[in-house]
Structure 1
Amino acid sequence: MYPPIFLVCAAVPAVTAVLGVEPVRLWPFDSAPAQGDDFYALPYAVWQTVGGSPENYIDTTPDIDSHTLQVDVYDLNASSARGAAEALRNAIEPHAHIVSWRGESFERDTQLYRYSFDVDWWVPR
C-alpha cells in the first residue's frame, strides 16, 4: 500500500554514499532527527505522500495504487543538496516517475539549503 522509496534508495550505492548507512538518512515526513540528536547528520532527505488514488475499474477492484510523493533534500550548501537529490533521482527513476521539480530554497531557521521534487509511484496491490 505504500511506495517502496526507502527500500529502493537504500539499495543503491550512490545514495548510501551521500546519505549514509545505519541509518540511511532518508526519513519519512516529520521523523528526521533534530539538530543535535544522535542520528542527525547532513545531507539528509525526507519524503511524504502528498496525493494519490487507486486505479478504479467498473467491473473489478483496483489492482494498483498511485502515490505522489514529495522528496526534500537538505544540506549546508546548495551544491551538496543538489548532488544528493541527483543520487535519489537516479535511484528512483527506474521504478517511478519524477513529475515535478519544486525548486530550491534556503531555510533561515535551520540555515540549510533545500532541493525538492515530486515522484509518481505506482504500487501493485
Structure 2
Amino acid sequence: MIAPIFAVCAASPAVTALLGVGPTRLYPHGEAPDGTAKPYAVWQVVSGSPINYVNGVPDTDRYGLQVDVYAETASSADAVVVALRRAIAQRAYITGFGIDTRDEDTHNYRKGFDVAWLVSQ
C-alpha cells in the first residue's frame, strides 16, 4: 500500500480548480510530462517505515512525502500549496515547509512542504 495522495487531492474541488482534471496535474516525482502546463505539483516518498509492535505484525506504515509545486507566479504557487495542504490535512499530517524559491533560468516558482501519512495495510 502507498499513501493515497493522488486520490485525496484529485477528489478536492479546490485542488482540481487549480490543477485541472483529465489529467489532474499532480504527478509522482519525475513523471510530469515535458511541457506540462503550470501550475502543477509533484510528490515523492522520502522516508517510510512500518509501525512495529513488540507482539505482532505491523498493520500500519508511515510514509514521509515531499510535495513540490511549480508555477509561473508566486501567488499561483501559494494558491496551489494552500489547496493541497487543506486536502491532505484531512487525511495526513503536514510536518514541515520546504523549498520556497524561484528558478534562475526559468523564473518559475517552486514551493514545497512535507507530509507524514499513516496507511493501514
- TM class, shorter-length: over 0.9
Gaps of 5+ in 1: none
Secondary structure (helix, strand or coil) at the match of 1:2 reads: coil
Pairs within 5 Å for 1:71-86: 71-86=67-82
Pairs within 5 Å for 1:48-63: 48-63=44-59
1:47 maps to which of 43, 49, 57: 43
Which string of whole-angstrom CA distances, capped at 9 and with x for unpartnered residues, describes residues 6-57 of structure 1?
A: 000000100000000000000001001112xxxx111000000000100011
Which string of whole-angstrom CA distances, capped at 9 and with x for unpartnered residues, describes residues 44-77 of structure 1?
A: 0000000010001121110000000000000001
Stretch deviating more after TM superposition (101-110 or 19-28): 101-110
Secondary structure (helix, strand or coil) at the match of 1:53 reads: strand
Secondary structure (helix, strand or coil) at the match of 1:65 reads: strand
- Residues of 1 paired with 2:80 and 2:40: CA distance? 8
The one-letter amino acid of 2:64's match is T
2:112 maps to which of 100, 116, 119: 116
* TM-score, length of structure 2 as denominator length: 0.97
**Residue 20 of structure 1: aligned partner:** 20
Gaps of 5+ in 2: none
* TM-score, length of structure 1 as denominator length: 0.94
In the TM superposition, what is the alpha-carbon distance from 1:103 to its structure 2 partner?
Answer: 3.5
The one-letter amino acid of 1:114's match is R
- Does 1:104 find its partner at 2:100? yes
Alignment length, in residue pairs?
121
Secondary structure (helix, strand or coil) at the match of 1:6 reads: helix
- Residues of 1 paired with 2:63 and 2:71: CA distance? 26
